[in-house]
Amino acid sequence: MDEETEKMCRAGMPLLGDPFPDMQVQTTHGPMSLPGDMKGKWFVLFSHPGDFTPVCTTEFYAFTKRAEQFKELGVELIGHSVDQMNSHIKWVEWINEKLNVTVPFPVIADGMGTVAMKLGSIHPGKGSNTVRSVYIVDPKGILRLMLYYPQEVGRSADEILRVVKALQVGDKNGVALPEGWPRNELFGDDVIVPSPKDEKGAKERKKQMGDACLDWWLCHKKL
């Protein structure tokens, strides 16, 4: 990777809270406009290093097996790598036939690396393929979560499903979610109550919530 390409990779990485970059993409299901075609929906775009590779194949199988669970949450899945369309089509065909599933989501073909550059999913220290990145985008087109894994470690589809649920619950109820929610070691499936905004609120918090507070800044509750 030359110096100029490396600079472009580093410059293209979006930040949490940014609008998802506008892009026109070609997928195995036809052309798409992102985030426009997903307006009003949550979506998860996940990049993989390469088609016909062992770890990526296990990930696609896992996402396929959980696709209905994502659908139930109103979440669309979109795959992506810098492979060509022919490779994607053949690989998806192989997965469907050999693993007895049907991959239901589109996969972006990004042979020129344009999408990867916009998303910052090519990390110079890990070569010229896309890393295992995950981008969760809300119905307003805002980037809410990013995860990056190296080529040698596969992602957990269950964890991606969990964090989408957590984001949706947090947005709906104005709360935060503890580690491992809904199976937190301290609070189980309780949620975290936002901290008070001033000293008066801090003094009243423990009095109002009692045993549901370990201190005024750490209170939990059932939904």
Question: What's the rounded Cα separation, in Å, for the pair 82 and 129?
Answer: 7
Catalytic-residue membership of 213: no
Preceding omega of 182 cis (within 30 degrees of 0): yes
Residue 110 · residue 129 · CB < 8 Å: no
Sheet bearing 143-149, strands edge to edge: 30-34, 23-27, 107-109, 75-81, 42-47, 132-137, 143-149
Catalytic residue among 9, 56, 213, 219: 56
Cα separation, 66 vs 76, in Å, equals 11
* Of the candidates 13, 8, 1, the residue with the CA atom closest to the CA atom of residue 121: 13
Q: Which residues are catalytic?
A: 56
